[in-house]
Structure formats: structure tokens, C-alpha cells
Chain A
Amino acid sequence: MQALTNRSKEVSRKPISFLESLYLPAIFKGMAITFSHMFKKQPTIHYPEQKRPFSPVFRGLHVLNRDEEGRERCTACGLCAVACPAEAITMEAAERMPGEENKYREEKYAARYEINMLRCIFCGLCEEACPKDAIYLSETFAPANFTRKGFIYGKSDLLIPDPKTEPEAYAKALGKGEKTTASTTN
């Protein structure tokens, strides 16, 4: 049969020599390669203790933002929902009542806000569409869950902690103190 390329080599069918049949040189050669890796730099990290820094453009789980006084920024304008290519966002709006000025920034607010994380493709178009700086994609993954029900994120799951009433949780959510391993080589 004619070879397809001129690079093909004929397989050697010779019986192996005595030295080769001992296998020991080949084993030591392989061991040498394995042990040499002990002195090289580790590409892996110990994940839960150490974390890699996220890329600045990383798009993770959504958060609903509050302003400095802890009022919700979202006014349920629906631009995130209309921008969403996966149709994952739904909401219902309500009017702010007198006495609720410390909870909502504007006279209209989202009484219900839901993101279906099963549908979400984390494209970040909602973040780009938002005129009120209300929705951001954070540097967190959507955690795994046993049921699908756990992936319908309501307002209680999305809103960031209130900097006024729960400052500790807010500081923790900011993630300032957390260490990340800056040892990414690639």
C-alpha cells in the first residue's frame, strides 16, 4: 500500500534486548522525571484555603446594590430584563410609601426581583443595561444545589447587606480582608 506521507516509519518488530527486558533502566528514567517535579514550582493551589484572584472581567453571581445609606438602588425599570438574552430576570414594581424613604432610593422600587440562575448565561448584559448602578455581577460562583428550586434567586438572595444596619456582614461581603494567591503563571 502506498504511504500517505513520507513521514511514516515502519514499526520495528525486533525482539527486545536483554537490557531492555530487565525494565529497570526504564523504570529509573521514569522515576527521575517524576521526582524532578518535586523541585519545580507547583502549578496547583490548595483551593478552599487558597484562592486564585479573579480576572477583572470575571462575571459571577449577581448582586443587587444599595447606596451609601443602605437604600435599594433598583427602581424596577425593566432594562435588565429586556436586555437579558436568556429571559432569566423578572420583576414587579411597587410605589414607595411615606416612611419607606430609608429603604428605597426612588419613589418606585422592585417589590419582587428574581433571577433564574438556571437560565442565566452570565453574559453581564443586565449590568451594562442598568441605569441606576443597581445590579452587578460579583466575583462568586453560583453554588451547587440538589434541587432546581434553589436556583431561583429572589431579592433576599441578591441584595447586598445593608451598610447601616449590618456593617459586619457588609464588610465581609466586600471581601477586603480575604487573601488570594497571586501565583497565576498563565
Chain B
Amino acid sequence: MSEQPLLKVTIDNITIEVPAGTTILNAARKIGGEVAPPAMCYYSKLQGSGGKCRTCLVEVSKGSEKDPRPMPKLVASCRTTVMDGMEVKNITSPKVLDARAGVVEFLLINHPLDCPICDQAGECHLQDLSYEHGSEGTRFEFQKRVFKKHDLGPYIQLHMTRCILCYRCVFTADQLTNKREHGVLDRGDHAEIATFIEKNLDNDFIGNVIDVCPVGALTDKTFRFKNRVWFLKPMNAHRDCPNCSGKVTLWNRGDEVFRVTARKDEWGEVENTEDGKTAWICNTCRFDKKKTSDWVIEGPREINRHSVISQGHYAGKIGTTQPKETFTAVHDGRQPKLLMDIHSVSEVNRPNIELSLINGPAHSADFNKKND
């Protein structure tokens, strides 16, 4: 195949050359930063995703070099390919920002806003989006939709009220697993993610629906309520896995592995491995390997400093090595006369309660166990 000519596209007054067939969203992501429109349903690693949530709407102020008329309406940038000489306005267009605020309001209409309980809080795309574009109040004065609770088995927790129907998990199950067992049932306001009839989701690789879910609708049941993500240390780690790449992020507290996820890039999508494949991880890696000895730890993962997850993380190796008692060294070898070991008093993080090894959320029975 001959070399294809590159097309020139200008997004927010920044010009970039991309091959034909690139969408506006991907061209903007090449520029990076604030120019890239937010995306709730588009997932570059999943074929056929996009075009549903309308958060990535942009204004095309000049169609192309040959036909310079602007496009009459805002277009979904994840589904519109670039043309040569196209001029796109994203954050420079008040029309786009206004439309985006409207989209966020629509997405939040049925959202329960239970972020204090939700395990996705801190890494939720809807949280980021509404923080940036949403209004602080609501105009919705009716009952929010509710659903009958579906149990999806021991690994995945479904909270249908939080779902924004992006279909990412449906594409994931279609493209990664042998057989898709869940989908969107019913239509309109009743549309819901469910299995038919009551099945467990336990196909291998089905755990990736947790990573692709932009909100807290599908969360890890083995991590449920264990800790908030911003109190955990994300570490790059790998293991020799026969099924998947084995490259993961461990979310540790101390030496305990609380959660295993795939490595996510700056767009919240699963990263590629060196050979260009997407580093989806298998269920064994995600749900069953909750011991530090199962993994080879590469080092702390870099987290965007604007993210709440980076709170308490410092540059270099601080926080990754065990701190030592320096009292005697500083005081010429004298031992402290009065020293309180916080762990002798504190009820939190008791050594006989290994939260990370409990399958599923902890209950009162786990905490009321007799202390040794």
C-alpha cells in the first residue's frame, strides 16, 4: 500500500497532520491536554464504541479545504473523521461548552450521586466531567429511576442506578470473552445492563468490564468498600501469566494488595504492551492474586498530580520503602523512655483482619472477630 497523504486539521488553533480516517477526537488526543474533548462512551481499544454519550461534541467551523462551509450542527468528534484543512473548535467555542454542560446535566439526571459510597470515586470520569462542566445544582425534581438488583456473581458488582448506558462493557464482553452473557435489556428509561436470566459473569477476561466502565456501575466485588482509591499506593507489577500479558497496577496498602487493575493511560484507557496489543488482564490476575508474593513489583506508578490519587504521594522513592525508627540514632544511642506504638492502641488495620484476603466486602462479623 502506498504512503497515504497526511491531512492537515486545526483544532483550537493548533494545527496537526494526521492520516486519513482519523477521527477528530483521536487527532485532538494527539495534541493532548485540554484540547482533547472528554469521552464517556468512546474507548479507542474497543471496536464500535462511541457516538452515544455526546460529551465529545465539537464545533466544525470549516468543513475542509475544498468545501469550507461550517457544519450546521455540533458533531460527535469520536465518530467524525477529519478532512484536509478542517478547522475544529473545542474549548474555544462557547457553543460547545454550553452543549457539554447540557450533556452533563442529562447524564446526571438519573445518577444517584452516591459518590461517598461509590468505589469508583476518585477515578470516575463522570465525576471529573461534572466537576469541570456541570452545574452545582439540579433542576430535576422527580423520582430518579430505580432497578431491581441483579447479582452478577462473586467478582463483579452491578449498580444499575449509576450506569450511563455507554455500552463499553457490552463491547468488551463481545470482543474479549468467548461468549457475551450480559447486555442492555429493555429500552428507553427502562434500559438496563443485565444478564438474561440471572447469570454469573465469570467468563475469563470479563473482569475488564470493571476497567472500561467510566462510572461506578461495574465495580470489583473483591475490592468493594475495602478502601478509598486515594489512600492506596498504585504500583506497577507483573507476573508470568499464561492467559494475559500479566502487566497490572497493584493498589496496595502497606504490603497488602487491595486491588488489581490493568494499567491505564492518561485517557483512562487500558495501556498497550510493547508489542502493540492492549494489556487486558485475565480474571485470575485481577481477582485471585491478592498477595504481594504473587507479583514482581516494578515500582510506583506515576499518577497525574491533579488527581486525588496522587495525594500523599511524593517524588522518588519516598513512600515505597519502609520507614525506619531514627530515634536512637538522633539521640546518641539513647532509647526513648516513653514511646507509644500506635498499633498497640489503634483498632484500625489490626493484624488479624486481613481485609485484602476477604472475598467481597467486609461485614460486621469480620470486624467483631476476637483480637488475638
**A residues with CB within 8 A of B:** 75-79, 81-82, 90-95, 97, 100, 106-108, 111-112, 114, 116, 131-132, 147-149, 152, 154
| B300-324 at interface with A (beta carbon < 8 Å) | 308, 311
* B231→A95 contact, CB < 8 A: no
Within 8 Å CB of A114, what residues of B? 346-348
A131: which B residues are within 8 A, CB to CB?
115-116
Is B363's CB under 8 angstroms from A95's CB?
Answer: yes
Other-chain residue from A78, A93, A100, A107 in contact with B362 (beta carbon distance below 8 A): A93
Assuming the contacts A82-B230, A95-B224, asked whether A111 and B362 have C-beta atoms less than 8 A apart, the reply is yes
CA distance A184 to B349 in the complex (A): 46
Q: Give the interface of B toward A (CB within 8 A).
A: 114-117, 121, 224-228, 230-231, 308, 311, 338, 340, 342, 344-349, 355, 361-367
Asked whether A77 and B228 contact (CB < 8 A) given A82-B311, A94-B364, the answer is yes
User: Which residues of chain A come closer than 8 Å to B115, judged between CB atoms?
Assistant: 77, 131
Bound Cα distance A112, B368 (Å): 11
Report the Cα distance A149→B344, complex, angstroms.
9
A82-B230, A149-B340 in contact; A92/B308 too (CB < 8 A)?
Answer: no
CB atoms of A152 and B346 under 8 A apart: yes
Min CB distance A53 to B, Å, is: 34
Q: Which of B117, B308, B340 contacts A82 (CB 8 A)?
A: B308
Contact of B230 among A76, A78, A95 (CB under 8 A): A78
Shortest CB distance A65–B (Å): 14
> Closest CB of chain B to A105's CB: distance in Å?
10
Please tell me if the beta carbons of B116 and A107 are within 8 angstroms of each other in the complex: no
Cα distance A81–B346 when bound, in Å? 15
In the bound complex, CA of A112 to CA of B116 (Å):
16
**Max count, chain A CB within 10 A of own CB: residue among B230, B311, B346:** B346
Across the interface, name the chain A residue whose C-beta is closest to B358.
A94
Residues of A within 8 A of B362 (CB): 92-95, 111
Name the residue among B114, B224, B226, B311 with the largest chain A CB count within 10 angstroms. B114
Q: Knowing that A111-B362, A114-B347 are A-B contacts, what are 4 other residue pairs whose CB atoms are under 8 Å apart, sorted by A's residue number?
A: A93-B225, A94-B225, A108-B361, A111-B364
The CA of A154 and the CA of B367, in the complex, are separated in Å by 14
The 8 A-B pairs at the shortest CB distance, nearest first, are namely: A77-B116, A95-B361, A78-B228, A148-B340, A111-B367, A90-B348, A93-B225, A94-B362
Given contacts A82-B311, A93-B227, A95-B363, contact A112 B117 (CB under 8 A): no
Q: How far is the CB of B80 from chain A (nearest CB, A)?
A: 39
Cβ–Cβ < 8 Å partners of A94 in chain B: 225, 361-364, 366-367
Chain A residue numbers with a CB within 8 Å of B227 are 78, 92-93
CA distance A76 to B115 in the complex (A): 11
In the bound complex, CA of A31 to CA of B361 (Å): 75
Most buried by A among B226, B311, B338, B340: B340
Chain B residue with Cβ nearest A103: B364
Instruction: Select A90's contact among B226, B338, B349, beta carbons within 8 Å.
Output: B349
CA distance A115 to B38 in the complex (A): 39
Can you identify 29 A-B contacts, CB atoms within 8 angstroms? A75-B117, A77-B115, A77-B116, A77-B117, A78-B227, A81-B231, A82-B228, A82-B230, A82-B231, A82-B308, A90-B348, A91-B348, A92-B227, A94-B364, A95-B225, A95-B361, A100-B364, A106-B116, A108-B225, A111-B367, A112-B367, A114-B348, A131-B115, A132-B116, A149-B340, A149-B344, A152-B342, A152-B345, A152-B346
